[in-house]
Amino acid sequence: MTTVLDITADPRRLRGRGARSNAVGRYERETRVLFDDGWNDLGDTDELAPLKTEVLIDSTRTIIARNSSPDISFQQSINPYRGCEHGCIYCFARPTHAYLGFSPGADFESKLFAKPDAARLLAKELSAPNYVPKVLAIGTNTDPYQPLEKKMRIMRGILEVLLEFRHPVGIVTKSALIQRDLDILKPMAELGLVRVALSVTTLDRKLARAMEPRAATPPRRLETIRALKQAGVPAAVMFAPVIPALNDDEMENVLEAAVEAGAETAGYVLLRLPLEIKDLFREWLEANVPDRARHVMSLVRSMRGGKDYDSQWHTRMRGTGPYAEMIARRFHLAAKRMGLNKESRDRELDLSKFRRPTRTGDQLALL
């Protein structure tokens, strides 16, 4: 039997990352453990280089993913990237990296998969005669505006196709980079084709830096809401995830700051800890807020039927029990007081403008 020493899991290499470890995915046959046997096999480990981001090409043949979950508001989505360099420790997409043979830990935020053919594939799928337009969701898994997008511009290519086809889209991000694409988002908004939600988890820059190490700072996210509003793009704020005894006391302040910046709607999602995330999150708590770690997890379990997580539809986003009911009550009272989430048909995205433009290579219609 061969023992594998996984030096990527050394905390000294994970500075600036969210995860504190890099345990192998749940489908792998071998387990790698960082263990110091005293022989100094790795030389001077104090000089270990920080973990670098590696970009791999995803050779997918389709780009639109379908969803049938009854508690999710969209039926189809696009993910330009797999994995996310933002490194948010709570990200519920982390376990998906195990399907690719990688760790939901440090691998998730350092071994990224990009889909450079996304725009071409999207145009092909939208051009299919049997395609029925439904609002596309982008950013519901990993962030389409993570740092890699600045170089690869995959999301921008997707938006160009959506504007050409007059196809509606809802975007969720925590990145200020979306401001780069206001020249596309503005005409889409004028046609009723786009809505954007900014995820603002905390106003505490120190907490944000620890929880979401490579994401935009809270002030930059609020500034982005303001920029979207000024461009005429409907902007929402997502207070997500709500973490008891860590950021839940900031709910009203976050909503108030977002309204001041121009947000018109708001939502929230309770912390979700499926599969490997529960262990990664516990590690993070012990390292960053050891005095509150046990209390946080106790409250989490009180909202999940005594477990770390309950995947039941309709309750997985909100939780159950007195503490979850209190959070829901606080949110709805705050939203009502601030004039958020008013019913308005004017804000529904327009499916009627969808068209299939003539593209290079299309055959001329017979007369």
In this structure, what token pair is assigned to residue 265?
Answer: 């709607």
Domain at 19, CATH number: 3.20.20.70
DSSP state of 80: S
User: What CA–CA distance (Å, rounded) separates 318 from 242?
Assistant: 9
Please report the pLDDT score of residue 58 as a whole number: 94
Is 245 within a domain? Answer: yes
Is 344 within a domain? Answer: no
Please report the pLDDT score of residue 5 as a whole number: 46
Q: CB neighbours of 116 closer than 8 A, spacing ≥ 6?
A: 57, 152, 154
Digit-coded pLDDT (tens) for 203-215:
999 999 999 999 9
User: What CA–CA distance (Å, rounded) separates 101 from 159?
Assistant: 30
Is 151 within a domain? Answer: yes
Is 58 within a domain? Answer: yes
Q: CB neighbours of 194 closer than 8 A, spacing ≥ 6?
A: 168, 169, 170, 171, 185, 188, 233, 234, 349
Is 288 within a domain? Answer: no
CA 181 to chain centre: 18
Residue-range definition of the domain harbouring residue 98: 7-41+50-270
Is 315 within a domain? Answer: no
User: What CA–CA distance (Å, rounded) separates 251 from 203?
Assistant: 10
pTM of the entire structure?
0.90
Digit-coded pLDDT (tens) for 101-115:
999 999 999 999 999
Please report the pLDDT score of residue 32 as a whole number: 62
End-to-end CA distance of the chain: 72
* Contact of 177 with 150, CB cutoff 8 Å: yes
DSSP state of 363: P
User: What CA–CA distance (Å, rounded) separates 297 from 285?
Assistant: 9
Please report the pLDDT score of residue 9 as a whole number: 62
**DSSP letters spanning 232-272:** T--EEEEEEEE-TTTTGGGHHHHHHHHHHHT--EEEEEE--
Q: How many domains in the chain?
A: 1
CA 72 to chain centre: 15
CA 359 to chain centre: 33
Is 139 within a domain? Answer: yes
User: What CA–CA distance (Å, rounded) separates 41 from 43?
Assistant: 6
Strands 169-173 and 136-138, bridge-based pairing: parallel
- Residue segments in the chain with a per-residue pLDDT below the cut of 70: 1-12, 30-48, 343-347, 359-367
| Strand order, beta sheet including 81-82 | 54-57, 111-114, 81-82
Is 333 within a domain? Answer: no
Q: CB neighbours of 84 closer than 8 A, spacing ≥ 6?
A: 91, 93, 108, 109, 112, 142, 143, 146
